[in-house]
Amino acid sequence: MLFEDDHLAVIHKPAGILVSGNSFKTITNALVRNIKRSTLPDATKPQPVHRLDFETTGVLLVGKTSSSIRALNKLFEDKDIKKTYYATTIGEIDSEGEITTNIDGKASKSNYTLCKTVLSKRFGTLNLVRLEPQTGRRHQLRKHLSHIGHPILGDKVYGVEPLILNGKGLYLHAYSLQFTHPFTHEQLFLKEELPERFKKIFDSLSSVLE
């Protein structure tokens, strides 16, 4: 739990669990047992208001009341929630860039900034990149980075043979959410540090994270 009040919560999503779906083992099903029920009149079953991929780790925003779920969805629709991700990508990449490749026929946009680079015997170059998606298409960051020739390490769907890393997970982490609380009007900046597998590749990360 990174933040919780009567309106909403921000939690850590581990890798290997669906946010929602037909499976019993989902974040949505687990919330009832792990989040305090709101004391407000319109309290409802807590619901994630956005999604993270099955293998993606990081911060997930949850509404705890009917009015909060509506308000948070509106913030996402109006692009008033800033999302920041970090990923490990393969191959020499420009210091920054904007990717606007359409996804499923819809306009999409992601901005990236190169934070750190290390040499790799197997992959040549590995990069730590900061990602700021401006739209929310399915698998957007994974598709965008693959499209420009720099797939995310561990991506078995959009990676390129023989550079697919097996058994280590997807190196994509939802690092932070920044937004104005729709009811208290508090400025919230909630983040979760990178998983250990990132730190094993890149040393001294504190100086490059935002």
Would residue 42 show up in a list of annotated catalytic residues for this protein?
no
Catalytic residue among 5, 53, 94, 203: 53
Cα–Cα distance measured from residue 35 to residue 58, given in angstroms and rounded to the nearest whole number: 17
Residues with a known catalytic role: 53
